[in-house]
Amino acid sequence: MHIIVRLIAVAACLALPACPAGAQPNQGLDEATGIVHNGQWQNGVPLGAMGCGKFDVLPSGWFSRFSINHNWDEPLWDHPWRPSRATFFAIRAAKPDAAAATRWLRFGFREQELPSVTQVAHVAYRGQIPFVDARFEDAALPVDVSLHAWSALVPHNAKDSSLPVAFFEFTLSNTNAQPVEASLLFSLEHFIGCGGYQVHGDHKQWREQEGNRVEPAAVKDSPLTGLRLFSTKQFAGMKLNSSGEYWLLSDGPTTARGWDAASDGQELVAGFSTTGELERAESPKSPSTAGAICRKVTVPAGGKQKVLFAFVWWMPRHVTMDGKDHGHYYLRDFQNPQALAAYAFAQRERLHRETAALGKLVTDSSLPAWLQRLILNSTHPVFVNTLLTRDGEFSVHEDPSWMEGALGTMDQRTVAHVFVGTFFPELARSEMELFSRCQQVSGEVTHFCGNIYQIIGDPRVFYGITRWPDLSAVYIWQVLKHYRWTGDRAFLDQSWPGIKRALDWMVTTDRDGDGIPEGGTTFDAGVQYAGGFVFTASVYGAALLSAMEIATVEGDAATRAACAQRLEKLRATMRQRLWTGQSFAKCYLPDRGMVVPTLFTAQLAGDWLTRAVGLPGVVSAAEAQSSLESLLKVNGRSSPWVFADEFMPDGSAHNDTCWFTYQATYFAGLAMAEGWADDAMEVAWRIYEGIFHYYKIPWGMYINISPTLKDPPQGGASYMSLMATWWWLHQLAGASLDVPGQTLWLSPRPPSSLGELHMPLFFPRVWFWLDYAPAKNIFRLKVLRKFGETVVFKRVGGDPNAEAVQLAAPFAAEPDAVLDLASLHGKLVTVTPRPAIVEHRTFSYHREGLPTLPWTAIGSDANSGFHAEAAYDGFAQTRWESSTPVSPDLWWQLDMGAPQDFKTVEAVTSPPGLTIELSADGKQWQLMDATVARHRARYLRLRPAPQAPTKDPWRVIEVTVRP
pLDDT tens-place string over residues 715-739: 678 999 999 999 999 999 999 999 9
The whole-number average pLDDT for the span 451-470 is: 97
pLDDT of residue 286: 74
Q: Which of 946, 932, 942 is nearest to 886 (CA)?
A: 946
Going by pLDDT thresholds of 50, 70 and 90, the confidence category of residue 891 is very high
Q: Which of 219, 169, 218, 171 is nearest to 351 (CA)?
A: 169
| Cα 132 off chain centre by | 15
pLDDT of residue 402: 84
Task: Judge whether 911 and 950 are in contact, CB under 8 Å.
Answer: yes
Examine the pLDDT at 5 and tell me if it is beyond 50. Answer: no
**CATH number of the 364-745 domain:** 1.50.10.10
pLDDT of residue 863: 86
- Helix H or strand E segment including 134: strand 131-137
pLDDT of residue 1: 26
* Sequence-separated (6 or more) residues with CB below 8 Å from residue 548: 560, 563, 564, 567
CA separation for the pair 354, 130 (Å, rounded): 12
* Sequence-separated (6 or more) residues with CB below 8 Å from residue 808: none
- Helix H or strand E segment including 53: strand 53-57
The whole-number average pLDDT for the span 169-196 is: 97
The whole-number average pLDDT for the span 565-588 is: 97
Please give the backbone phi and psi of residue 768, each rounded to the nearest 5 degrees, phi first. Answer: -120, 165
The whole-number average pLDDT for the span 254-263 is: 94
* Sequence-separated (6 or more) residues with CB below 8 Å from residue 91: 102, 103, 105, 136, 141, 143, 145, 182, 183, 184, 185
The whole-number average pLDDT for the span 211-224 is: 96
Half-sphere exposure of 184 (CA within 13 A, CB side): 31
* 28-358: in CATH 2.70.98.40: yes
Domains 28-358 and 364-745 in one fold: no
Compute the C-alpha angle 519/626/839, nearest 5°. Answer: 105
Give the chain's end-to-end CA distance (angstroms, integer).
Answer: 11
Mean residue pLDDT of the chain comes to 94
The whole-number average pLDDT for the span 783-788 is: 98
The whole-number average pLDDT for the span 566-591 is: 96
Which has the minimum average pLDDT: 75-79, 143-147, 484-488? Answer: 75-79
pLDDT of residue 280: 81
- Helix H or strand E segment including 480: helix 469-486
**123 strand-pairing partners:** 136
CA separation for the pair 914, 909 (Å, rounded): 8
- What letter would DSSP give residue 690? I
Task: Judge whether 141 and 101 are in contact, CB under 8 Å.
Answer: yes
What does the CA dihedral 883, 884, 885, 887 come to, rounded to 10 degrees?
A: -110
pLDDT of residue 497: 99
pLDDT of residue 26: 86
> What is the layout of strands, in order, in the sheet containing 594-596?
532-533, 587-589, 594-596
Task: Judge whether 83 and 98 are in contact, CB under 8 Å.
Answer: no
**Do the strands 766-773 and 757-762 form a parallel or antiparallel pair, or are they unpaired?**
antiparallel
Half-sphere exposure of 318 (CA within 13 A, CB side): 28
pLDDT of residue 119: 98
**294 strand-pairing partners:** 185, 255
* Sequence-separated (6 or more) residues with CB below 8 Å from residue 150: 47, 130, 131, 132, 166, 167, 352, 355
pLDDT of residue 16: 24
pLDDT of residue 2: 29
Compute the C-alpha angle 651/657/660, nearest 5°. Answer: 110
Examine the pLDDT at 112 and tell me if it is beyond 70. Answer: yes
pLDDT of residue 4: 33
pLDDT of residue 711: 86
What letter represents residue 495's amino acid? Answer: S
CA separation for the pair 341, 333 (Å, rounded): 12
How buried is 721 (Cβ within 10 angstroms: 0-12 exposed, 13-18 middle, 19+ buried)?
buried
pLDDT of residue 527: 60
pLDDT of residue 74: 84
Examine the pLDDT at 8 and tell me if it is beyond 50. Answer: no
| Cα 916 off chain centre by | 38
CA separation for the pair 127, 35 (Å, rounded): 8
pLDDT of residue 528: 64
The size of the chain, in residues, is 963
pLDDT of residue 287: 80
Q: Residue 184: helix, strand or coil by DSSP?
A: strand
Task: Judge whether 934 and 902 are in contact, CB under 8 Å.
Answer: yes
CA separation for the pair 627, 583 (Å, rounded): 4
CA separation for the pair 296, 276 (Å, rounded): 7
pLDDT of residue 75: 78
Examine the pLDDT at 592 and tell me if it is beyond 90. Answer: no
User: Percent of the chain scored above 70 by pLDDT?
Assistant: 96
Please give the backbone phi and psi of residue 875, each rounded to the nearest 5 degrees, phi first. Answer: -95, 130
Examine the pLDDT at 295 and tell me if it is beyond 70. Answer: yes
The whole-number average pLDDT for the span 832-837 is: 97
**647 strand-pairing partners:** 599, 654
Going by pLDDT thresholds of 50, 70 and 90, the confidence category of residue 530 is confident
Q: Which of 443, 566, 545, 568 is nearest to 499 (CA)?
A: 443
Q: Which of 107, 134, 82, 39 is nearest to 873 (CA)?
A: 39
pLDDT of residue 607: 99
CA separation for the pair 768, 759 (Å, rounded): 8
Residue 69, Cβ neighbours under 10 Å: how many?
Answer: 22
Diameter of the chain by CA atoms?
90
pLDDT digits (tens, 9 = 90+) for 938-950: 999 999 998 888 8
Task: Judge whether 470 and 430 are in contact, CB under 8 Å.
Answer: no
Domain ranges of the chain: 28-358, 364-745, 856-962
pLDDT digits (tens, 9 = 90+) for 663-689: 999 999 999 999 999 999 999 999 999
pLDDT of residue 19: 37
Examine the pLDDT at 370 and tell me if it is beyond 50. Answer: yes
* 856-962: in CATH 3.40.50.300: no
CA separation for the pair 889, 941 (Å, rounded): 12
